[in-house]
Amino acid sequence: MTYRKQFSIILALLLLVTPLMSVRAAGGQLNGTITDPKGALVAGALVTVTAAATNQKFTATTDRQGRYKVEGLPAGVYLVTVMAKGFSVAVREGIAVVDSQTATLDVKLELAPLADVGVTIGTGNTKGNPDPLYTQLRQKSVGQDAFSSSFASVNNLILKRDAATFTLKSGEIYFMSPVEGRAVAAVFIGDGEMTLTPPTEVEKRAIAVFTNEPGMTEQFTQLVLRFSDKTFEEIKQSPNAKMQAGGAQASRARELFREKESLMRRELRFLNFETRTLADLYAAKRPGYFVAFIGGRRWSKLIFMLDPLGIPFVSPEEVALFSHGVSDGGFWTAFHLADEYKSGTATNTQDTRLFDISHHKIEGAIRGTKIIASDLITFRPLLEDVRVLPFDFFPSLRVKSVQDEQGRELHFIQESKDEDADFAVVFPDALEKGKEYKLNVQYEGDGAIKDSGGGNFILIPRSSWYPNNGGTQFGDRAIFDVTFRYPKGNTFVGTGALAEAETQDGDAKIAKWTSGKTELAVAGFNYGKFKKKELTDPDSGYGLEFYANEELPAEMRSLQRSIEQAEAQGAVTGTTLGSMSTTGMSGVALADAQNAVRIYNAYFGKLAYTRIAMTQQPAAGFGQAWPTLVYMPYTAYLDATQRTQLMGLRGGTDTFWQYVGPHEIAHQWWGHMVGWTSYHDQWMSEGFAEFSTSLYVQYVRKDLGKFIEFWEDQRKQIVEATPATKGIKPYTIGPVTQGFRLSNAKTRAAYQRLVYPKGAYILHMIRMMMYDQRAGGDTKFREMMTDFIKTHYNKDVSTEDFKRIVEKHITPVMDIDKNKRMDWFFSQWVYGTEVPAYSMDYTIASSSDGKAIVNAKITQSGVSKDFAMLVPVYADYGKGWIRLGSATIVGNSATELNNLKLPQAPKRLAVAALNDVLATSIENNKR
């Protein structure tokens, strides 16, 4: 099951990976003071700041003066929650943050009603139409005697769960009273030790980021266990445990359990454990899951999970250890079951879906910011015994009813929107594997669409505004038929194409969109008061549309107003925002989009869709691409001068705004025409989209200097240690195949600093190796990329799929090992973490016949002894770089070019002049 959207809380502070995006955090600040109802300062309150558009979270705790401060917030609109013991959770929405500015939000807390202080009453929230067994599971811990029925005193009891070993040296295990005859939770209080050694080298390196060793050993005094496996039976039958009744610490056990229960329900919210348990209670043959909350001496916020159905976020991996701590948060390690490594099935291509959705028929209406909709879902179970279907669905959209094909009301689960609200449907009987079923889900809610003022709206849940398959990384490829009714002054832009012309009914318009016969991984829409401009590309026949908002969003208008007020009072702001508008740029934006599509068509094969809509969104710092629909940050359509005034220098110079369009358009190929298999393969989506941008730079800017500069900028992101990655050089943290896990509390933005640029560099290096001036330049590379898209069209690709394509198109120079394989390249650059340094010393002399003689020595360093690379040497005769040839260098060694005769004397020579090899440094010294 995947509950990707809410998991960012675990990675609090960190940028979480939202797919198919390009993000830049230039940074504003939010601060304020938290007080109680009488105005007294509240210290130690937890302030969580969530970006409305991306769900990215930042946290801060108030100091003794009740103050908090959150820095480095990407410009945008935020939701702020404040939690403190004894007070109700305070929520403030629509807090705007502007780059290089400080926003202030003071919050007066209200005293908590008794329920929040731990008095035993139910949560009292809307719970839909829950299954009775679920209700029992959900309320089990409420009873005062929940842990009083049985306990075991233990002496060196060992619980082994895959690579983890829990040794319960001495103490007591209290079991929660059984549900349907099965024990599903226990609490250990005593002395114990946990050890874990990950099974792979990459994972040993990953855990060492936190433990400074290739594994972990931790002493603990308590364990809270939740399980649907045989833990109870195992302990009961162990000679090292003695089952007893009663027990002096039963109420302490209950308290510890409820603490973790509350943590999961109210803070982490990425997995509704009762739903997960229910699914297994209804499928008795499954092996079951095991989860341990470890009350360790050094690390108090660790959670170990083993789930044969896959762990949220790192699925299809089944074993994981992570921390929800502020200073050590993130995935410490994640891997497959030991048996799978033995049998060779431990791959990221495992399908962890419980069911496959083939069709969504969504009919909805937008009223104000409210969505009222129904989704008729056609699906097929992929496993036996499926009764509980988990969905990925935005919590503030509330399910009203779920019906089966016969119109019978089905049980469903959806806790309150501030809790672990994962939506799940419970069938009365196990479904038949492979048979086709239909479900009709009716839902409505505010909060999925946000009104940013001036006819600017933003759809916050991009892939969960309809019930999406909970077992996928991103979405479940399906046919989408989407009909929406909306106020006629606005425009609704969908994915796919209009099925028929829009109709009008009184004050409403009705739009019918369809993906036709093409399955899409996700569907979405943009909505607002737009001005539309369009063109049809004469070469390819497809349509390009551009939608710009007629007015600026409120955050910009209020900024504009304060500038005007200041100037009216005589201040000189030097700002000339008066005529700021985004519609004026539509011509340029369309031309840019058209150019990008033409280039990508030529390099990767023809776009499979008949149209692309470029649409504006009232978010300053990110763009995102859905099939046929691109969301562009409105700031990309301001001119550089205005952006500089708003955001400081980087608003004008940062290449993000120049290249966000080409990047997002490239996602039509990298992300949609081919998807990615698991988080280990997502580097291709972001990396190749970033690479595609370099083609745009090369062909549209037509400036080799800009092209080199583009790659130099990428190189610096990869090799330079900056505060963005807490002073760690990004390339040393892990390989690109670690995906979002590269980012954690120790490494912060490592994902953004590595996956995008290094993913791009990997393809750039392959292109450069394949480049052959005499054989049409990029011909071979283009053939390979077109073949890649064609072979895997509308499928998810793995890193190994890509490797196979490169091997299929390998050229003699790339075949360093002379075995037609690219193992050498992939093990170094894709699965590895080394980056070499180069230096070249050279001399240029004149020969007796008036030509030039070059001698050079090229040194590779900073790598292990088997690291091999093809290193190109370029000459500049005054008209740009010309490649002379390439040398293969292995390990830390040097190669010499002796008495190379050139027709005339070059001005200079350089190694990898087009940044065609990623290097920590390149020095070229003329002697």
Q: What are the residues binding Zn ion (CB under 5 A)? A: 21-22, 686, 689
Residues 505 and 521: their CA atoms lie apart, in Å, by: 31
Q: How far is the CB of 644 from Zn ion (least distance, A)?
A: 24
- Is the CB of residue 112 less than 8 Å from the CB of residue 87? yes
Q: How far is the CB of 685 from Zn ion (least distance, A)?
A: 7
Q: Give bridge partners of residue 377 from the DSSP assignment.
A: 360, 439
* Token pair for 665: 């358009």
Of the pair 612, 689, the CB lying nearest Zn ion is at 689
Q: Where are the alpha helices (DSSP H) in 349-424?
A: none
For CA atoms 464, 466, 467, 473, the dihedral sign is: negative
Q: How far is the CB of 632 from Zn ion (least distance, A)?
A: 12
Q: How far is the CB of 850 from Zn ion (least distance, A)?
A: 53
Q: How far is the CB of 623 from Zn ion (least distance, A)?
A: 8
Q: Could you please report the per-residue DSSP string of 484-546?
A: EEEETTSEEEESSEESS--EEETTEEEEEEE-TT--BS---EEEESEEEEEEE-TTT--EEEE
Of the pair 340, 686, the CB lying nearest Zn ion is at 686
Of the pair 46, 619, the CB lying nearest Zn ion is at 619
Q: How far is the CB of 681 from Zn ion (least distance, A)?
A: 14
Residue 193 host element (H or E) = strand 185-196
Q: How far is the CB of 25 from Zn ion (least distance, A)?
A: 15
> Residue 225 carries which DSSP code?
E
Of the pair 203, 654, the CB lying nearest Zn ion is at 654
Q: How far is the CB of 689 from Zn ion (least distance, A)?
A: 5
Other CB atoms within 10 Å distance of the CB of residue 803: 17
Residue type, 231: T
Q: How far is the CB of 633 from Zn ion (least distance, A)?
A: 13
Of the pair 319, 742, the CB lying nearest Zn ion is at 742
Residues 404 and 247: their CA atoms lie apart, in Å, by: 47
Of the pair 229, 686, the CB lying nearest Zn ion is at 686
Of the pair 235, 673, the CB lying nearest Zn ion is at 673
Q: Which residues does 255 contact at the CB level (< 8 Å), separation at least 6?
A: none
Of the pair 336, 667, the CB lying nearest Zn ion is at 667
* Token pair for 594: 């058209």
> Residue 655 carries which DSSP code?
H
Of the pair 552, 629, the CB lying nearest Zn ion is at 629
Nearest to 881 by CA among 656, 640, 711: 711
Of the pair 22, 352, the CB lying nearest Zn ion is at 22
Chain-centre distance for alpha carbon 825 = 26
Other CB atoms within 10 Å distance of the CB of residue 132: 9
Q: How far is the CB of 459 from Zn ion (least distance, A)?
A: 18
Q: How far is the CB of 749 from Zn ion (least distance, A)?
A: 15
Residues 899 and 176: their CA atoms lie apart, in Å, by: 82
Nearest to 263 by CA among 135, 420, 40: 420
For CA atoms 221, 227, 229, 232, the dihedral sign is: positive
Residues 55 and 445: their CA atoms lie apart, in Å, by: 18
Of the pair 14, 425, the CB lying nearest Zn ion is at 14
Residues 272 and 423: their CA atoms lie apart, in Å, by: 9
Nearest to 674 by CA among 737, 666, 392: 666
Q: How far is the CB of 625 from Zn ion (least distance, A)?
A: 7
Of the pair 386, 749, the CB lying nearest Zn ion is at 749
Residues 555 and 544: their CA atoms lie apart, in Å, by: 29
Of the pair 272, 694, the CB lying nearest Zn ion is at 694
Q: How far is the CB of 144 from Zn ion (least distance, A)?
A: 52
Residues 804 and 790: their CA atoms lie apart, in Å, by: 14
Q: How far is the CB of 479 from Zn ion (least distance, A)?
A: 25
Q: Give bridge partners of residue 470 from the DSSP assignment.
A: none
Q: How far is the CB of 682 from Zn ion (least distance, A)?
A: 10
Distances (CA, A) of 166 to 304, 797, 827: 11, 37, 34
Of the pair 422, 686, the CB lying nearest Zn ion is at 686
Contacts of 634-637 with C-beta under 8 Å, sequence gap 24+, read 634/456, 634/549, 634/552, 634/553, 634/556, 634/582, 635/75, 636/660, 636/661, 637/548, 637/582, 637/585, 637/586, 637/589
> Residue 456 carries which DSSP code?
B
Of the pair 319, 760, the CB lying nearest Zn ion is at 760
